């Protein structure tokens, strides 16, 4: 069985505790995909200047990398194990593409990973490999990093996830709109979805100039880049499909795109 590449918006950490149409969609997605060999997640909350890959067979620490939330959220644990064997496979594919990567044996799973996986794979019984995001690289190089793993999706039943947010601007959020979309945020996402489904990488790589409201939508650049990482990982097929689109607080986007 071939693997799958997805971009998934990880939203607020509170999603880990919420029962919403979006979290129900995540649970349904996990059920549809079945039990893969491993889940590989590029997380916007692991920023590094070079590509890094977790490297352990042990149980990860659950990192609560946020503040100001209810105590209940800090009690959440996601005790997934890693897989050095699959991490070695990833490392070899990066090396074959001329991409330097380091193995990290000590990092746990940040909320860009476990908030999603708690709904998709609640038993935490599937090996997880987390990968960092380097916000110093332009979109075409992000795509190339993801593309280095496209072969993995062809020969192994893995799920590769780019975890971030297409619209992520704290200053633009309106907490009086818990489940509504601001028109500008949806306009940006609609442009993005249209060009992703057309696999128009030329326009996508130039999104800052071509997409409406791009700078307002993406000041937290590291959150946007997993779009390209996941797209690159799905480059063998060059097909994309929007599975879900919703919003919290006016502009915090919840998108699921399957490649």
Q: Along the 259 residues of the chain, how does pLDDT read in single tens digits? A: 689 999 999 999 999 999 999 999 999 999 999 999 999 999 999 999 999 999 999 999 999 998 889 899 999 999 999 999 999 999 999 999 999 999 999 999 999 999 999 999 999 999 999 999 999 999 999 999 999 999 999 999 999 999 999 999 877 777 777 778 889 999 999 999 999 999 999 999 999 999 999 999 999 899 999 999 999 999 998 999 999 999 999 889 999 999 9
Please name every residue paired with 8 in a beta bridge, in sequence order, or none if there are none.
163, 256
Q: Give the residue carrying structure tokens 């918006």.
A: 9
pLDDT at 1: 63
**Ramachandran class of 112: left when φ > 0, alpha when ψ lies in -120 to 50, beta otherwise:** alpha
- The span from the CA of 223 to the CA of 51, in Å, is 16
pLDDT at 2: 83
CA dihedral in degrees (2, 229, 187, 178; nearest 10)? 80
pLDDT at 179: 79
Assigned CATH for 4-258: 3.40.830.10
Q: Which of 198, 16, 210, 190 is nearest to 181 (CA)?
A: 190
| pTM metric for this prediction | 0.96
Question: 197: which 2 tokens?
Answer: 């489904």
Query: What count of other Cβ atoms lies within 10 Å of the Cβ of residue 73?
Result: 17
Domain ranges of the chain: 4-258
Map the chain to HEC letters.
CCCEEEEEECCCHHHHCCCCHHHHHHHHHHHHHCCCCEEEEEEEEEECCCEEEECCCCECCECCCCCCCCHHHHCCCCCCECCHHHHHHHHHHHHHCCCCEEEECCCCECHHHHHHHHHHCCCCCCCEEEEEECCCCCHHHHHHHHHCCHHHHHHCCEEEEEEECCCCCHHHCCCCCCCCECHHHHHHHHHHHHHHHCCCHHHHHCHHHHCCCHHHHCCCHHHHCHHHHHHHHCCCCCCCEEEEEEEECECEEEEEEEC
pLDDT at 175: 77
pLDDT at 103: 98
């Amino acid at each position: 069985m071939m693997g799958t590449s997805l971009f998934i918006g990880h939203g607020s950490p509170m999603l880990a505790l919420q029962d919403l149409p979006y979290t129900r969609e995540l649970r349904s997605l996990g059920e549809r995909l079945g039990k893969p060999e491993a889940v590989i997640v590029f997380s916007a909350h692991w920023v590094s200047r070079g590509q890094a890959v977790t490297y352990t067979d042990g149980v990860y620490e659950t990192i609560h990398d946020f503040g100001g939330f209810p105590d209940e959220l800090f009690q959440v644990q996601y005790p997934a194990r890693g897989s050095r064997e699959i991490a070695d496979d990833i490392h070899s594919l990066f090396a074959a593409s001329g991409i330097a990567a380091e193995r990290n044996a000590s990092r746990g799973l940040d909320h860009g990973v476990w908030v999603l996986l708690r709904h998709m794979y609640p038993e935490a019984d599937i090996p997880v490999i987390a990968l960092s995001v380097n916000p110093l690289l332009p979109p075409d190089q992000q795509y190339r990093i993801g593309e280095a793993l496209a072969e993995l999706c062809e020969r192994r039943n893995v799920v590769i996830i780019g975890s971030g947010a297409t619209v992520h601007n704290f200053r633009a959020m309106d907490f009086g709109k818990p489940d509504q979309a601001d028109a500008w945020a949806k306009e940006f996402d609609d442009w993005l979805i249209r060009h992703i489904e057309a696999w128009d990488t030329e326009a996508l790589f130039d999104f800052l100039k071509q997409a409406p409201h791009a700078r307002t939508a993406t000041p937290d650049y590291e959150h946007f880049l997993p779009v390209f990482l996941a797209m690159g990982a799905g480059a063998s097929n060059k097909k994309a499909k929007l599975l879900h689109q919703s919003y919290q607080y006016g502009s915090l986007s919840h998108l699921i795109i399957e490649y």
